[in-house]
């Protein structure tokens, strides 16, 4: 029986992977680093400490991980202030789901970023718990962020359904023991091996109803 729902943010509620990609690519290239498909895919799901260290050590960006992280966070907040890429119906679907289940957010985004997003959208009060992967030891695809979300909710992971879009996120929720509802990101689709781990696959966020969640 599903007793709680844990949402991912990027790619599920906001079409932000493209923004992250554009911001980091420009930042890396302006500083003489390497940015290609391998770098982009490697960072999907990484926590802020992980990807900022990766950009320095593997992509050749000068500066400390703390500096890189702070610079990119400021650029992301500026981008969201100009235009927030909220997916159609996302706010209403979160409110509908919150009326049926306790909700948590398990995000790879920095807390400063997702808190600003939730306030801009007006859905911060819908979430009883929020976790950034920067607050746990390992980012996605490790299960840490989902296990911590369940702990903060006070619900066993096995009684939670996770809503995810990416290969790293699906693996993370699955390995945490949650039921996984996958809504594949069309721009950055999960691989078939990861998608096979999902309990339910939906074509769009519109299909996410309390009934579909209970059926997971």
pLDDT single digits (tens) 20-57? 999 999 999 999 999 999 998 888 878 889 999 999 99
The pLDDT of residue 143 is above 80: yes
CATH number at 17-82: 1.10.150
The rounded distance, in Å, linking the Cα atoms of 125 and 102 is 11
Q: Compute how many other C-beta atoms are within 10 angstroms of the C-beta atom of residue 74.
A: 12
Residue 128 confidence (pLDDT): 98
Distance separating alpha carbons of residues 207 and 184, to the nearest angstrom: 13
97 pLDDT band, cuts 50/70/90, is: very high
Query: pLDDT at position 44, please?
Result: 81
Mean pLDDT of 94-109: 97
Alpha-carbon span 32 to 47, nearest angstrom: 23
Give CA–CA dist 67/98, Å, rounded: 37
Equal fold, 4-15+85-214 vs 17-82: no
Q: How confident is the model at residue 186 (pLDDT cuts 50, 70, 90)?
A: confident
Mean pLDDT value across the chain? 95
CATH tag, 4-15+85-214 = 3.40.50.1000
Which pTM does this prediction carry?
0.90
Domain ranges in the chain are 4-15+85-214, 17-82
pLDDT of residue 160: 98
Contact 171, 123 (CB under 8 A): no
Which two tokens mark 125? Answer: 């009060």
> Collapsing DSSP states into helix, strand and coil, what is residue 93?
helix
The answer on pLDDT for 58 being more than 80 is yes
The band of 101, judged by pLDDT with boundaries at 50, 70 and 90, is very high
Cis peptide before 141 (omega within 30 of 0): yes
Rounded mean pLDDT of 136-162? 97
């Amino acid at each position: 029986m599903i007793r709680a729902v844990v949402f991912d943010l990027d790619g599920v509620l906001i079409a932000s992977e493209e923004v992250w990609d554009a911001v980091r690519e420009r930042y890396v290239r302006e500083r003489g680093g390497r940015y290609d498909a391998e770098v982009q895919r490697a960072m999907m799901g990484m926590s802020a400490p992980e990807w900022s260290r990766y950009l320095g050590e593997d992509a050749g960006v000068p500066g400390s991980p703390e500096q890189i992280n702070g610079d990119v966070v400021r650029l992301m907040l500026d981008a969201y202030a100009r235009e927030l890429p909220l997916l159609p119906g996302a706010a209403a679907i979160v409110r509908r789901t919150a009326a049926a289940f306790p909700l948590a957010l398990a995000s790879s985004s920095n807390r400063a970023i997702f808190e600003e997003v939730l306030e801009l959208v007006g859905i911060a009060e819908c979430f009883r718990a929020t976790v950034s992967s920067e607050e746990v030891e390992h980012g996605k695809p490790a299960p840490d962020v989902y296990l911590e979300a369940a702990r903060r909710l006070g619900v066993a992971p096995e009684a939670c359904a996770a809503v995810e879009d990416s290969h790293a996120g699906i693996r993370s929720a699955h390995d945490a023991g949650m039921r996984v509802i996958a809504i594949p990101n069309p721009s950055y689709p999960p691989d078939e091996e990861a998608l096979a781990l999902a309990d339910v696959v939906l074509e769009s966020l519109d299909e996410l109803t309390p009934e579909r969640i209970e059926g997971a």
